[in-house]
Structure 1
């Protein structure tokens, strides 16, 4: 399992550097991956790993937005750092233009013409962008394309 090995190595480096924030975030990621592996009962595929890491990032982004709204600047800074660390283990994110191109291609491939076809488009699209683009961004671009 590549990601767990990578996390173990990074954990050792963070311990030696006495980087408590990075260490706790790596431990959290490692725990989430191990829990998923136990629940699944077999080795995780790379796609499974991306799903877990994306879920962890999404949780932090949602919490970040709530803390910003509540004016909890102390927690905002901590979460921003955690998100940066999680991003290190995710593939590079696609730009909005790249997502827009993929959405347009998928809409053409599926023959979608209205909002009724959104489920069909999203079903075909998400495997292409999984872990590489924010689901909310993808959804909004699909809605935009289907409402033209």
Structure 2
């Protein structure tokens, strides 16, 4: 069992003991999503896959919060933002811009990327290192600028 899944399960128990319904609901949704993937694919998820799943859930909630704000529903947007805060507790610390730039330079050097046709190779190298620690879309834009 992955350490991240253990942390999530322990947090569910803590939230139950504290009778924190909002936190408990968010954590249960996260563990249900993990369990769903494990059942569908008949595998035990490792930390990298759990991290990717949490990252995906955070992105979905950010999109929902933005849509709620656009629709003048601040109350619903705040619920989504509270869920984001709970999920972010389980992500590793975010990378600084300098660290991201260094990783991009390293990936370009390792893959021998010469132009835009090598974008997939560079992103394939970067994605596991950045998962949960940086916005992949923003990093993709930086890589595109460097290769273009």
TM-score (ref. length: structure 2): 0.89
Please state if 1:11 is matched with 2:12: yes
Question: Closer, same or farther in 2 for the Cα pair 1:99/1:38, shift >3 Å?
Answer: same
In 2, Cα distance between equivalents of 1:66 and 1:20? 24
Verify the 8 A CA contact 1:110 1:121 in the aligned structure 2.
yes
Verify the 8 A CA contact 2:91 2:132 in the aligned structure 1.
yes
User: Which has the higher mean CA deviation after the structures are superposed, 56-65 or 7-16?
Assistant: 7-16
User: Which sections of structure 1, spanning at least 5 residues, go unmatched?
Assistant: none
CA RMSD of aligned residues (A): 1.6
**2:88 aligned partner:** 87
**2:100 aligned partner:** 99
What SS does the corresponding residue of 1:13 show, helix, strand or coil?
Answer: helix
CA displacement, residues 47-89 of structure 1 (integer Å, 9 cap, x when unaligned): 1211211111121122122222222211111111111111111
**1:61 aligned partner:** 62
Q: How does 1:128-143 map to 2 (within 5 A)?
A: 128-143=129-144
In 1, Cα distance between equivalents of 2:10 and 2:126? 34
In 2, Cα distance between equivalents of 1:133 and 1:17? 31
CA displacement, residues 119-142 of structure 1 (integer Å, 9 cap, x when unaligned): 121122212212222111211111
User: Which sections of structure 2, spanning at least 5 residues, go unmatched?
Assistant: none
Question: Closer, same or farther in 2 for the Cα pair 1:105/1:4, shift >3 Å?
Answer: closer
Verify the 8 A CA contact 1:33 1:52 in the aligned structure 2.
yes
**2:39 aligned partner:** 38
Kindly state the Cα deviation for residue 111 of structure 1 after the two structures are TM-superposed. Answer: 2.2
Verify the 8 A CA contact 2:5 2:47 in the aligned structure 1.
no
